[in-house]
Every structure is written in structure tokens, then in C-alpha cells.
Amino acid sequence: MKNQNSTTLSPEKQKQFDKRYLEMALVWSKNSYCKRRQVGALLVKDKMIISDGYNGTPSGFENNCEDPDNKTFPYVLHAEANAITKVAKSNNSSEGATLYVTTSPCMECSKLIIQAGITRVVYSYEYHATHGLDLLRKVGVEVVNFDLDQSDVEVDIHKTG
């Protein structure tokens, strides 16, 4: 069944929502105790935030992402993976959801995004490798880049309401 809620949004309105949610994901990324890179993610469905995540170690691990050489531990979960697995523990479904993530997804997370049924990904900063984005586009996931540093999009949510 088609999701009428998301299809009836005007492009301008959609842009406003994208910016707001991405800004929230950026705020959420500050929860990360990782030092090298902080990433935040939100899963939004039918204009509701159904999950959130930031990069960090799995439950039960010490809140430390880097070894003494400042290399990220292999067991650190990315923000997207944390958001998707959090849904798995809930009564929500990520089917048809939009993922807002501050940094573009890597290959591993892109696989999870596809399998979780997420149909749209909005990100701000580009990760050094873009294989993940290529994979998402290949299977028809809508990928949107919204650069939060370039405030060229004038967003006033009250103006068009």
C-alpha cells in the first residue's frame, strides 16, 4: 500500500522536514562517546521518530571506542546499525521508513538499511568511501544529500504552513 502521508508533502515542505530531522540527528550524535567521529541517526516513519542511534560500543561494553593508538575497536556499532537494531527490539517496523544520518552510510550499514526495508536515506556529510551510497542507489533506495553546513536552503517552517 502506498504511504499517502509522505507522497502528499510538497517538495518544499519535505525539505524543511529533512533539514529539521537531520539537525536533530546532529544533536543526537553528541551522545556518542567516540572521539574520532560522532555520528547520529534517526529513523522516521509517518512523521514520527521510531528509533535513534549514535555510534558506540554494544550494550555491556565499556564506553570507549578507541584503543590506545586511537584506532576504532572493531566491535563499535555505527549509528545506523544502532538505530536499526533498536527497532528490532521494539514493536515498530522500519519498513518504508526514512533514515536520517549525519554521515553517509558505509557498505555494512547500507546492507542493513536495505534489509530493514528503509526506502529513503538523508545524510549531511560524505563518508570517505561512497560504496554504501552506490549500493543503496542500485536497489532503488532514495538517497538525499543535505549539507547542513551550507545554509542555502532558507527554512522557515511557519511560512508555508
Q: Report, as residue numbers or ranges, the catalytic residues.
A: 80
* Dihedrals phi, psi of 80, to nearest 5 degrees: -65, -45
Q: Does 32 bind Zn ion (CB under 5 A)?
A: no
Distance of CA 91 to the CA centre of its chain: 20
Judge whether 124 and 150 are in contact, CB under 8 Å: no
The contact pattern for Zn ion, residues 97-116, with x = CB under 5 A and - = no contact, is: ---------x--x-------
Residue 9 or 107 having the CB closest to Zn ion = 107
**At how many degrees (to 10) do helices 107-115 and 131-138 cross?**
20
Nearer to Zn ion by C-beta: 45 or 78?
78
Which grid coordinates are listed for 13? 515542505
CA pair distance 160, 118, nearest whole angstrom: 28
Question: For Zn ion, how many residues bind (rule: CB under 5 A)?
Answer: 3
Count, residues in the chain = 161
Q: From CA 31, how far away is CA 28, in angstroms rounded?
A: 6
Nearest approach in angstroms of CB 112 to Zn ion is 8
- Give residues 114-133 in contact with Zn ion (rule: CB under 5 A): none
Q: How far is the CB of 16 from Zn ion (least distance, A)?
A: 27
How is the beta sheet containing 98-103 ordered, strand by strand? 48-54, 40-45, 98-103, 120-125, 142-145
| Region 44-83 residues binding Zn ion, contact defined as CB under 5 A | 78
Cβ proximity to Zn ion: between 139 and 157 the closer is: 139
**Distance of closest approach, residue 58 Cβ to Zn ion, in angstroms:** 14
Q: Which residue number, 6 or 38, has a Cβ lying nearer to Zn ion?
A: 38
Residues forming contacts to Zn ion in the complex (CB under 5 A) are 78, 106, 109
